[in-house]
Every structure is written in C-alpha cells, then in structure tokens.
Structure 1
C-alpha cells in the first residue's frame, strides 16, 4: 500500500531548514534531548552533532506519530541510531511497500541471470490465451506501475480497497490469482496507477522463473532460497523474513520483515549501485540506474522506487521536491516507513513506525530537516 504522504509547504519548511542548516548554528534553539545526543556516534558524523540530535528529536516528536526505529548511515557507517522504548536493534519491522523495492531488485537479478527479459510480455499462462489483451503487459510496465490493470490502492472504508481485499480478505490465500484475474482499465503502458497488485504479479513472475512446479512448498522454497542465497545473504540481512501466501507466492508488495539496521544495509546497497558492503555485487549498476530513472507517466516514480521529483498536475508530492537533491530516492511504506537514499550526500536514513493522517505530513517535514543536516559530499 502506498504511503499517504501529503504535500510539503515550502513556506512552513523553510524556517526549519534555515535554523538547522548543514553547518550548524542554532544558538537560539533549545538543546537536543539526552536520548538523541546519545544516539549520535562520537567522532565525525558528517554533520553537527547537536544539530543532528535536534533533527532526530523532530523525527521522534509526538506530533509525527510513533517512531519506533531510526538509523542514519553516512558514508557507509551508522552515525546515529535511536529506538523507542520496547524496540531495539534486534526488532524486526514489516516494511510494507518498502518490500516493493526488494521485488524490483529480484526482477533485475533474474534479468541479469537471463531468466527474464524487461520488455517481454509477462510470462503468465493465463494472459497468453488467444485474444487476451493482457498479453501486451510487459515486465517493464509492471515495474513502472503502468500495467493498465484495474486497481484501487486506497478506498473508503480502507478494507474495501483492492489491495486490502487481495492481501487480507478474499484474495489472501492466492494473492497472485487475485491480482492476475483483474481486467484492463487502460491500454498497457499508457497510465500510471500505483498498485500493490503489480508487485504481487512480479513476485509470481519471479517464482515461475525459478521453478516450474505449482506446488506451494516448491514455490515457497524456490523463492525463499533465491532471496536468502542471492540477496539477503550477501547483504548480511540475517534478520530478513519474507512472507508467503498459502499458494507459495511471495507477498512481494508488502511483506518483508527486517531490523532497521538490515533495511539500512539494503539502502546502502542501492546507494552503492548494487554492491554490498563486503564488496559483493548483487545486481548490475545499470539496473539500479534503471530503477532510479523517472518513468514515462510519473517522473516521481522509477521502477519500484520513489524519486524526489515534481509530479504531474493534480498529483501530490511524495518526497521533498525542491527541498532536497533530485538525485535522492526512497523506498516508502504504509504508515510512514522510509528508507531514504541520497547518493550526493553519501546518506541512507531508515525510519520505521506508525504515522497516520496529518502526522505523515509533519513526519515528512521532520525527515526533510534531518536530510538537510548533511551537506553534499
């Protein structure tokens, strides 16, 4: 499910950025909390220690919701780390839609292996029947949320949305079947529609590339093995736990659980262009470049990652366009899950917790202020 992130008002954010600039200088502001000061590593953190701690206080403020974990990595090292009471470095957190980026990377790995092709029709038997217009949907379309399939990500009440019905009610035992039996609402490739179903379909496509078996255990074992051996293992993400439905399909739009540190390791791999911290390349740099290139129907979305770009008229900003580098990109999840990657600042920030409604607008401002503490390298 997509994060419900509301527009940032530049006039409201500007005083924060001016008071908390990357060089420090906040004599007229209250001192940071002891908790946030203690969370900042001693030595060179890449930013003013007090200024960074003050910005961390903003991310843990009551009016942004419940922040449970925050990890800040600069130049590949953790420079700040804070947890709410009851949470810690070993606590797993569900990524929600941050999981989509994991699925996007898996698809890239399979393309690099020669098991899939970016512009081939999605290899799903039910779509290849004579006369089925869904045969024109390609892997690229699904990655860029341009499938044309009917889908309502959000609804009122929330339980009536297509994503909720797929994940939690009638579709939950076979999420791929639910997603793949939807009709077209538009010609493939013509329109952007953010869709958890697209990620579920890609997870099924990936599974079919790994095994021809339709047995649930075989499907689950094939995908779990690939994830751990080819991705989580090389990245050192020992805590990562993917979820599967009763048919053995990886719930690739929303269901990977991992610690904040392990989510940060994934973000650092993305910042490094596909290379793990141990020097192992897990994905070609060209694939990360593709994922972070604006899509043709919404420049704020690449291929299963959000980009810090302005959106077409009528669509709310998602990240911080105009307030941070347009090279910044992010994995985002329901209720305010963030893994922000800023290559120009050598920066990865993970925030995990629960924020709702207007809290998410204030959280977005707090995250922008935290990012602004770090100068471009």
Structure 2
C-alpha cells in the first residue's frame, strides 16, 4: 500500500483533533444563579472581597451537600460586619449554644484575674483539696490547666459515651457540683507532660475564678460574683448584651461548654481577640495575654490557652483547622458539632459559623470556610 502524502496525513490528524478542539472552545459549565437570600448576605460593597464571589462562598456553607446544617454565618472584616446570613427559623436575635467555644471566653476571664494580680500563671492553683501534704495535684499550675496538660485523668470521649469524664461531669454523677467532681479525679501523668483536651479542666478554671472572686461556698453568692465580674469586665465593655452563661447547682460557671449568645456577639468576641484584647481604644485584656492564648503550648502545636491554632502538627487526620490553606496566625474558638469562630489577624477577618455537623461533615465544612478566607490576601 503506497504511503499517504504528507499533506493527507496532516489533514487526517487535524480532523481527528476536531472533537477535542471543539470541546476546548466550549464555555465552562455555569453555576446556578444566586438566590436573593444569598446575594443579600453580603451587606456592603466594601467587604474586602468581590461581592458576588463572597456571596457564593457563603451560600455554599448553607447549600452545598455533605456539610450538615448551617444555621448562622457572620463575617467581620476590619472590625465591621460585612456579611451575615441565617437559615430559616434563626435570626440576628437567636441565642446559640457555645459548646466548647466558651473555653476561650473562660481563658480571657482568667487572664483578667492574672492581670489584676489575683492569680499567677506558674503557681500552684488555689484548690483546697489539692493542697494537702503529699497530694501530687498540688504541683499543677494555672498555665498547665490553661494548656490542657494538667495530667489529671480526664477523658473527653468514651465508649460508651456515658463513661467519658465530660458526660459524667455534665449530666451524671458530677452534674450538681461539676468542679468538685473534676478536681477529685486522680493523676494519670506528671503535670505538664502531655496534652489532653478536657472540658473538665475548664470547669476547674471556672471554679478557680469563683474562689478568687469570693470566699463563700454559697451557690448564689458564687454565681453572683462570677456573673457580676463577667458582665462588668467582659460582656458590657464589648457590648455583648445577649450572653447568658450557665452555672451548676454549686454556682460554678460551666465555662467549658455552656454559654448562649447571638452570632454577632460571638463575632464581636472573636474580633476583640483579633485586636489583641482592645475594643474601641480600651485595652480590656493585656496584649501579652492574647499572645499567650494564641501561642503553641509545649505539648501541642495546635493549641494555646483554651484556643485552637492553625499550626502544623504531627496530626495527619482530623486537624481542627486548615494549616495548609491559611496563615499560621489563624486561631479559633471551636464548639461541639461545628460551632466556629475563626480569627485571621493577617487578613483582618473574623468568621462565625454556627450549626450542626457530624465529624465527616466537619472535614468538608472546614474546607468551605477556608475558601472564604482564601478570598482575602494575607498581610493587608
């Protein structure tokens, strides 16, 4: 069979490429138009990102498959609320439970007491039962409690769930006097030796605050002392008028998991930390304390003082944030089932997402929240 002329071979090759070339010329698939509710989420043209793109990324938090149920989103940029959206049945006045986001508020409260000279970071903490001769718990410092490395035998999860220290303290045999139950647990490691996340530890911190503020064991007096301090030093100065803290029967703040507030008030607190403890020109919390809260602890690079950090760790799965997609300076308040206040100082951002998502859904959810942060350049 004679060879085809070079022109013929070239023509055949070009014809073979036509379907692929035609496909290359086709426009990319168009996404569905945004709803009016999605567009209305972005409140200003000065949002710091392209308005349509920001609205779409926020819409994904509500509409994308596999993320669970988003109930509220608030985004602050440069100290102003630039985007806000709620699912049906929720609005700007809805009080949302904090779950473990409360831990970061408790840490700020402890910081104020340290600044007042009423507590010292590296001293043994004022818990009477730990001060008996020979009790190893007397070696635990305030810093170690704040960094979740007390060495106490606390378990945040159990199988079955009702055997965990958290569940027993909150709902079973410890519920009437939570701090007494948490403080009665034995040591399982040397103080400071290992990181173990624990809601029980934060309730101990709340008890320490109450003991500093009053000598009384009367539940009403304890509750009143802490409540007055929180309102006078934290909530009122920050205009967080919605916050409702919960207390146990002994008058101890359930500072590890049970506060209630609007999405805007959670955002306001996150932005207060973004500003290193300053609000409208008043330094309510020392800058150094916020820097401590957001610095890695010796036993966990992704945790500071009751605050989650966007730092790489040895964790290969289930990192609480997204160190590969956002600045290392990002930190967060994180609560059970997908409550987030994510703060990025370099991007002037505070992002609140509240809702209900299981563990696999939260993995996908974190990437969607990272998409929002990615709209903003770092180091602005």
Q: Is the 8 A contact 2:78 2:348 kept in 1?
A: yes
* Residues 315 and 178 (structure 1), Cα distance of their counterparts in 2 relative to 1, 3 Å cut: farther
1:300 aligns with 2:287: no
Larger mean Cα displacement after TM superposition, 40-49 or 264-273: 40-49
* C-alpha contact (below 8 Å) 2:310/2:323 kept by paired residues: yes
Note the alpha carbon deviations across 1:317-339, whole angstroms, 9 max, x for none. Answer: 11001110000000000000000
RMSD: 1.3
What is the rounded CA distance, in whole Å, between the counterparts of 1:177 and 1:93 in structure 2? 28
Partner SS for 2:333 = strand
Q: 1:312 aligns with which of 311, 314, 335?
A: 314
Between the aligned partners of 1:290 and 1:125, the Cα distance in structure 2 is 27
Match of 1:226 in 2: 229
Q: Does 1:32 align with 2:23?
A: no
After the TM superposition, which residues 50-65 of structure 1 pair with which residues of structure 2 at under 5 Å, given as runs?
A: 50-61=52-63, 62-65=65-68
Query: Quick one: distance in 1 between partners of 2:163 and 2:316?
Result: 24
Aligned residues: 351
Task: Tell me the residue number matched to 1:135.
Answer: 138
Q: Is the 8 A contact 1:33 1:54 kept in 2?
A: no
TM-score (normalizing by structure 2): 0.90
CA distance in 2, matches of 1:198, 1:235: 26
Secondary structure of 1:135's aligned partner = helix
CA distance in 2, matches of 1:348, 1:313: 25
Q: CA deviation at 1:359?
A: 1.2
1:263 aligns with one of 263, 266, 273: 266
Mapped pair 1:253 → 2:256: yes
5+ residue gaps, structure 2, are 1-27
Structure 1 residue 362 displacement after superposition: 1.3
Contact 1:97 1:254 (8 Å CA) reproduced = yes
CA distance, structure 1, for counterparts of residue 310 and residue 128 of structure 2:
37
Distance (whole Å) between structure 2 residues aligned to residue 149 and residue 311 of structure 1: 23
Point out 4+ residue stretches in structure 1 off by more than 6 angstroms.
Answer: none
Map of 2:246 onto structure 1: 243
Query: Secondary structure of 2:71's match?
Result: strand
Tell me the TM-score normalized by structure 1.
0.91
* Equivalent residues in 2 for 1:329-340, closer than 5 Å: 329-340=331-342
Confirm or deny: 8 A CA contact 2:318 2:363 kept in the other structure: no
Higher relative contact order (Cα pairs below 8 Å, separated by 6+ residues): 1
Larger radius of gyration: 2
What corresponds to 1:46 in structure 2? 48
Contact 2:75 2:83 (C-alpha < 8 Å) held by counterparts: yes
Please say if 1:288 is aligned against 2:290: yes
Unaligned runs of at least 5 residues, structure 1: 1-25
Distance 1:70 1:158 in 2: 30
